[in-house]
Amino acid sequence: MRFFKIIRSVEWWEYKLPPLLAIGYATALKTEGVFMMAIPQLLFLLFALVIGAVYVSIINDMTDIEADLASGKANRMVGIRPGIRWVFPAMCLLAGLVCGYFLYPDRLSILLYLIPWISFSLYSFRPVRLKNRKIWGVLADASGSHIFTSLLMVSSISEVTGQSIDWLWFWSTGVWALCYGSRGILWHQFYDRKNDIQAGLNTYAVNILPDRFRNKEITIFCIELAAIATMLFSLQLLLPVLFLLLYAVLAVIRSKRLHYVPVLIISPENRPFHILMADFYQVFFPLALLVTAAFVQPYAWIILLAQLVLFPQKTITAIKDFKPLFSR
């Protein structure tokens, strides 16, 4: 259990991985009859991305020790001897190199897998430490967490299924990932803004008043919606659109019946909230794609079951939140 706390898996397992898998599922579905052919590669990519996520979690804590102490935040690396701390990222780097080797000869996928490692290293380590360099920190985090990992899914699954890359799908996915990834890190920065000011950090959120950011968050969200609309148009599948409408119903229930504040980026203090579209990407989109696959390839039901077992919590929460729809 302590290992999972050190790697902070609770902060990324159900939030970052399902949207990436959804991009892989969707890419496989773009060519009829190859979905199950893509599953071994999807499992490999999931492993490769988990290794990267563990690396990121560890180096973030390692490089944030002083800032966390200054702001009074707990840091999981404090109780580990300095000489031992470096063993963890070194092991991750070695495993990452092995994963990169198995992507050969797909050079585009190797490049897309390599960039997040570089991005997050520059984000965390001095003297660069992009985390402390305003907008560059936002772009570095979004690049590592969403942009290049999403594009890796497109390129690698296209390669193993013998598809030519659909460039409309590729670039609209990139724009979507940029916006959604930026919203994610900006939410975190604004949520931690007071602590970061106390610690003397120079994040983007520290340098702008939340009220002055409202128009920017609307712009980012609108571009994201245009990108996901383009992605759905490129897919030409019915169920993702229907599941989007189902998600919209859930969003209304949460706002009107459960009194959650709908949030684009900046969340309210001491009030329950829901980040708009997050559950669509994390729950509804991947499930819609897997149900679609299961209708044409029966063994895809096994993958659907595996998805529910591996990522249960967000799905359970969504189901529970539908209850007011059936109550007086």
pLDDT digits (tens, 9 = 90+) for 128-165: 999 999 999 999 999 999 999 999 999 999 999 999 99
Mean pLDDT of all residues in 288-292:
98
Q: Please state the domain extents for the chain.
A: 2-234
> 195 pLDDT exceeds 90?
no
Cβ(109)–Cβ(157) under 8 Å?
no
- Please report the DSSP string for 278-326 in residue order: HHIIIIIHHHHHHHHHHHH-TTHHHHHHHHHHHS-HHHHHHHHHTGGGG
Confidence of residue 76 (pLDDT cuts 50, 70, 90): confident
CB count, 10 Å around CB of 268? Answer: 10
Q: What is the pLDDT of residues 16-34, one digit of tens each?
A: 999 999 999 999 999 988 9
Mean pLDDT of all residues in 285-295:
97
Which is nearest to 23 in space by CA: 164, 170, 220? 170
Residue 122 CA to residue 138 CA, distance in Å, equals 12
**pTM for this structure?**
0.94
Q: What is the pLDDT of residues 40-60, one digit of tens each?
A: 999 999 999 999 999 999 998
Question: What angle in degrees, to the nearest 10, is found between the helix axes of 148-160 and 13-29?
Answer: 40
Q: What is the pLDDT of residue 64?
A: 83
Q: What is the pLDDT of residue 22?
A: 98
Give me Rg for the CA atoms of the chain. Answer: 20
Q: What is the pLDDT of residues 239-278, one digit of tens each?
A: 999 999 999 999 999 999 999 999 999 999 889 999 999 9
Q: What is the pLDDT of residue 68?
A: 75
Confidence of residue 6 (pLDDT cuts 50, 70, 90): low
Q: Given CATH 3.30.460, say whether it is the number of domain 2-234.
A: no
DSSP state letter for 73: -
Q: Give the long-range contacts of residues 201-210, CB within 8 A, separation 24 or more.
A: 201/67, 201/131, 201/132, 202/132, 202/133, 202/134, 203/131, 203/132, 203/134, 203/137, 204/134, 204/135, 204/137, 204/138, 207/134, 210/266
Average per-residue pLDDT for the chain: 93
